Amino acid sequence: MDAQKYLKRIRVSADRNLDLKYLKELQGSHMHNIPFENLDVTRKIPIELDTDAFFEKILERNRGGFCYELNGLFQHLLSELGFQSHLISCTVKKPDGWVREDSHAAILVYLHELPYLVDVGFGDSVRQPLPLTGEEKTDVSGTYRIRESGEGIYDLQRLEDGEWKILYRFSDKQKQLDDFHDACFFNQTSPESHFTHGDLATIATKNGRVTLSGLTVTKSEEGTKEKYELTEEEKKGFLREQFNIKL
């Protein structure tokens, strides 16, 4: 993989110490420069679990992707740079239960043998490495912590209206990209998948986030939200201007 091209895309320099500061910069810059999007899913373009295909799509064609693509490629970059890391599987919480088990891919990175959760493929979520110790971290998207819920099992939580809400549950067990084959197929094809019901593209900004859902644009900035509707023709221009995506 051309790590230099990847670093150029996310606007981060190479030849740095493999420490928490650099990892934080890599994650944050990734989330500010590469969108989470499902535009291949809604156009029924198959997504194969292959890092070469991810590289061609995300770096050669300036696209984004969903969790398997974004975290799969980012974990590959981290390994290329020398970080000790591996993929993990997660089960996302929803208001009335859980989605398909182990269907979200994220990353664990080890610094001085201490694990940190890193996730660039979950949309509006924590923008910095999160230790598995319960320590709280706050950024523009909220306040987060990780709590152990069983042996080797952890919950990513966000503080919402004074209460800790689970975003997803994960195991620290190492996973390979191929382990997500069935989940990736499910999320591309099943009517039960959130990703098959309309276009979604979202990217972090310095003080908020920009999201396109269907024809609805939501821009959040320092706690305030603006919403407006687009036409189909305006949507194509918005994808080009806001996300640099040309379909």
Summarised one tens digit per residue, pLDDT across range 66-92 is: 999 999 999 999 999 999 999 999 999
Quote the number of domains for the chain.
1
Residue 229 pLDDT more than 90? yes
Average pLDDT of the segment spanning 223-237: 94
Residue 15 pLDDT more than 80? no
pLDDT value, residue 14? 84
Average pLDDT of the segment spanning 159-172: 97
The residues, ordered by sequence, that sit 6+ positions from 11 with a Cβ below 8 Å of its Cβ are 29, 33
Residue 223 pLDDT more than 90? no
The answer to whether 206 touches 32, Cβ cutoff 8 Å, is: yes
What is the domain extent for residue 226? 3-243
In the chain, % of residues over pLDDT 70: 100
Q: How far apart are the first and last CA of the chain?
A: 25
What confidence tens digit (pLDDT) does each residue in 51-68 have?
A: 999 999 999 999 999 999
Cα distances (angstroms) measured from residue 240 to each of 22, 148, 184, 247: 30, 42, 26, 9
Residue 99 pLDDT more than 80? yes
**Overall pTM > 0.75:** yes
Tokens describing residue 41: 């899913």
Average pLDDT of the segment spanning 213-225: 93
pLDDT value, residue 176? 98
CATH number at residue 97: 3.30.2140.20
pLDDT value, residue 1? 85
Average pLDDT of the segment spanning 204-225: 94
The residues, ordered by sequence, that sit 6+ positions from 200 with a Cβ below 8 Å of its Cβ are 36, 37, 38, 211, 212, 213
Give the chain's mean pLDDT: 96
